[in-house]
């Protein structure tokens, strides 16, 4: 998992994001939305490669840490490299969760839960619309 260090922070206006992203990407990345389970492009993807932020292109996760959680969202047990994602407390919808965002553009990716497989025991539950996929090779 040799990934580059986190890139410099990226900030854009709301109008710039609206022009760059499609409506679903904008709703999820910039407005903290969630796609319906089993509807995203990558929940059942089994190809080798790198998952990048759909907002800024930063590498976030790799197929090496992806696993089938049965939840209907792409799930990973670790980010591609330290510092690629950031975590924030999320107490919306009367729940206590940990939100996961891209450390470069602060785009909402999903949430992380403590019920994943070894070796980390974590499950990064990520929206497909927040990602792009670079197939290996």
Residue pLDDT, tens place only, 72-94:
999 999 999 999 999 987 666 66
Q: 53, 102, 105, 125: which one is catalytic?
A: 125
Q: How far apart are CA 31 and CA 91, in angstroms?
A: 15
pLDDT digits (tens, 9 = 90+) for 31-60: 999 999 999 999 999 999 999 999 999 999
Residue whose C-alpha is closest to residue 67's, from 107, 110, 111, 126: 126
State yes or no: is 53 an active-site residue: no
Give 94's contacts (C-beta < 8 A, 6+ positions apart): none
Q: How far apart are CA 82 and CA 32, in angstroms?
A: 23
Residue whose C-alpha is closest to residue 73's, from 119, 41, 105: 41
Residue count (the chain): 137
Q: How far apart are CA 128 and CA 58, in angstroms?
A: 15
pTM of this structure: 0.89
């Amino acid at each position: 998992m040799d990934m580059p260090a986190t890139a410099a922070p990226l900030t854009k206006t709301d109008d710039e994001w609206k022009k760059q992203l499609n409506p679903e990407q904008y709703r999820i990345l910039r407005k903290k939305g969630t796609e319906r389970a089993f509807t995203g492009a990558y929940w059942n993807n089994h190809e080798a490669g790198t998952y990048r932020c759909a907002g800024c292109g930063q590498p976030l996760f790799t197929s090496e840490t992806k696993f089938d959680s049965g939840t209907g969202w792409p799930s990973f047990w670790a980010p591609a490299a330290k510092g690629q994602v950031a975590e924030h407390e999320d107490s919306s919808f009367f729940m206590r969760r940990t939100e996961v965002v891209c450390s470069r553009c602060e785009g909402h990716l999903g949430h992380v839960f403590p019920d994943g497989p070894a070796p980390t025991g974590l499950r990064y539950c990520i929206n497909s619309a927040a990602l792009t996929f670079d197939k290996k090779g």
